[in-house]
Structure 1
Amino acid sequence: MEILGSTFDDSVFEESRNRASSVTVLPAYEPKSCEPEWFCHHEKFEDVLDEQKTMKFRADLKYRRKQYQVALDDYTTCLSLVPNENLSLKRDVLESIARCYSHLGLREQALKTCEKLRKEATNTCHLTCVLLLEVTIHDGCGDVRKSISSLQQLCSIHPFNPWHWLKLGMSYQSLRECSTCPENLKISLEPQALVQQWEEKNLARLKASMCFIRTRMLIDILMIQQFSFVLEKSKRALKEIEESLQRLQLDKNTLLTISEVMAEDLNPEKMREENQDGESLSGLAIKDFEERWWNKLHTCLLMEKTDLSDDKTLEFR
């Protein structure tokens, strides 16, 4: 007895059999193999794109080997071959050229190349790369003040990135230490110069503390979502921050005031609203660092100092 639907007509399978027999046999795939560092002795270029690719690979290898002058020559040749519409590669090569200049001690040329990158920047990611490059160049020359300026701009663009704040705090700490080194103290013998130096040192101390406290708050917020080596990095950073704050030796009231001011914009909704990653620079309003944080904090600290002075005057009377 046949069950309903259990038998099939042979014609159903005829089409699939015919299709299987007519399948074209494809040739075996043979991947192209290249010798290690093939581009070092590759001289016959098929077209401009082939030459551009070869020069880029050569330059990257020379840069990795710290042969910066040879790498610079190859990067320059590569740049001349990059079409104007290939903006990503052009920016990559220009950044590499700036780094070569920096390693060769040619700071002015490096900064001019940075300026080219800045003019062609169209979004916040481009501008962030330029600012990070400027920080590297300034740090390489030991110019802490210029490095601080670039880091302030980074913190203004990315106010919730703890690592920019940490780097800025460390730069202020370096500036404070430079102002108290014996070489600088010997030069400044006049009373007015000594007073100015003391004020700069105290200013750097407060700004360093401001940045460290801001970093600590941001890391505390982000640590909830962190695991593994990322979490370990955050824990190490917190330990370094605590040690740095202890060395700065600020009183509890000052630390409390700094914490209150720097925490005002740290809420999840505001942090999401002000996320500017990849935003176009046209029409983007970036608030000035001094105006957004330091001026307000400075006013609060002055008010606190005035209140303490008034209390002491009353007690004396």
Structure 2
Amino acid sequence: MELGLNLEDDDFQGQSKKDSDNTISNSASLSYLAKQCPHKWFDNAQGPIGEADVQTLKFNADQAYLEKDYVKAFRFYEEVLKRTSKKNMSNRRDMMESLARCALHQNRSSQALEWALELHNTSHPNNIDHLTVSHDLLSQVYDAQGDSEESLAHLSRIIHIHPFVPDFWTRIGQCYVNFKDKILEYPISKSNLKQVQAFCFIRALVLLQRVETTVRSFAKEPNVKGQKVLLEQIRSFSLHPEEADRLHFFASLDIAHSRSDAKSGDAQSSASDSDGKDFQDLGRSERIKALEKEFENVPDSRAEWNPSMVIEGFELEWFKFMVE
């Protein structure tokens, strides 16, 4: 009886020729062992630190930093920097930042400042990634030294690049809180200090609330906790309800709608089907280009750096509505 299955003889011999060519045999699969790096493989190097290769030193430094052994980490990072070519600026900047943070963790703020300034001096004046890292590091170092004015000035430069990061606004608000016993000469905060402080924390709260529905997994708990902390901070100012509403309105105005200020470059362009034109992306890429162009003429070198002028410009950009 013909079944019409069209079977070949090889189909009844366990494994077809095709299978033997394209699959791994059982013996081969059983003998295969994946290569694995033992834990802390880089820590097995014998001999003095000067004889170890750069890669091993870098792994040792990062491991020591992870384990909060900042003295050991500093020693390794310093050795890696010595061996890194001056042409390899990316790696050198990484080492400078690491050295500054190690010194900061050891409460050696003067040494941390030296490395942070050296890092900042290597930042390209219109590379916003370079400037973000160096200004952020400098703000933390000055904050550790108790210099709230310098810390605020560097944070205000970051806000100009990243206006939608809640952590930066929280830190700016804390800088203004630290000014409570100081006579200020800034254009707006000198007579509206409480409102300026509250605005910064409200701004941070609004930014966290705006992303709450999209936050998942491990980020959800910090978002909720952060909102609770900010709410308590805002309540401590005992604002009048109308005043609180006004601050909330201006703190969220550019979040709900693209800022009209041309220098922010945040305006989005939508495709116009009626015009028959192709879609043009005028979003982040155009905003970044505008910022980079603007930063070409911004004095960030120490010779031209004036924290009071930087803060004054920041206040006029964000708090002007308080005096209008």
Task: Find the residue that maps to 1:159 and give its secondary structure.
Answer: coil
**Aligned CA-pair RMSD:** 4.4
- Kindly indicate whether the alpha-carbon contact (under 8 Å) linking 2:64 and 2:72 is maintained by their aligned counterparts in 1: yes
Report the alpha carbon displacement of residue 213 of structure 1 after superposing the two structures with TM. 1.8
- Taking every aligned residue pair, what percent have the same amino acid on both sides? 21
Q: Classify 1:75/1:278 alpha carbon distance in 2 versus 1 (closer, same or farther; 3 Å).
A: farther
TM-score (norm 2): 0.67
Report the alpha carbon displacement of residue 36 of structure 1 after superposing the two structures with TM. 4.9
Matched, 1:249 2:238: yes
Q: Classify 1:84/1:139 alpha carbon distance in 2 versus 1 (closer, same or farther; 3 Å).
A: same
Question: Who is 2:149 aligned against?
Answer: 145
Unpaired runs of 5+ in structure 2?
260-265, 269-282, 299-309
Structure-2 separation of matches of 1:277 and 1:81: 39
TM-score (norm 1): 0.68
The within-5 A match list for 1:149-228 is 149-176=153-180, 178-179=181-182, 202-227=191-216
Report the alpha carbon displacement of residue 97 of structure 1 after superposing the two structures with TM. 0.9
Question: Who is 2:292 aligned against?
Answer: 283
What code does the residue aligned with 2:321 have? Answer: C
Q: Classify 1:117/1:272 alpha carbon distance in 2 versus 1 (closer, same or farther; 3 Å).
A: farther
Question: Who is 1:75 aligned against?
Answer: 77
Structure-2 separation of matches of 1:281 and 1:58: 41
Structure-1 separation of matches of 2:172 and 2:158: 9
Spell out, residue by residue over 1:6-63, the C-alpha distance to the aligned partner (whole angstroms, 9 max, x if none).
2245589985488489999697546355475752652389x99x61122223333444
Unpaired runs of 5+ in structure 1?
180-192, 304-317
Question: Who is 2:112 aligned against?
Answer: 110
Spell out, residue by residue over 1:162-207, the C-alpha distance to the aligned partner (whole angstroms, 9 max, x if none).
221122112212222x44xxxxxxxxxxxxx7x979x966543222
The within-5 A match list for 1:15-94 is 16=18, 19=21, 28-29=32-33, 31=35, 34=38, 36=40, 39=43, 41-43=45-47, 51-64=53-66, 67-83=69-85, 88-94=90-96
- Kindly indicate whether the alpha-carbon contact (under 8 Å) linking 1:165 and 1:211 is maintained by their aligned counterparts in 2: yes
What code does the residue aligned with 2:119 have? Answer: L
Structure-2 separation of matches of 1:302 and 1:70: 52
Structure-2 separation of matches of 1:137 and 1:87: 22
Spell out, residue by residue over 1:216-262, the C-alpha distance to the aligned partner (whole angstroms, 9 max, x if none).
22222111222455333333333332322232233344333323332
Q: Classify 1:152/1:2 alpha carbon distance in 2 versus 1 (closer, same or farther; 3 Å).
A: same
Structure-2 separation of matches of 1:252 and 1:220: 19
Matched, 1:300 2:321: yes
Task: Find the residue that maps to 1:142 and give its secondary structure.
Answer: coil
Matched, 1:7 2:6: yes
Structure-1 separation of matches of 2:287 and 2:43: 34
Q: Classify 1:284/1:10 alpha carbon distance in 2 versus 1 (closer, same or farther; 3 Å).
A: farther
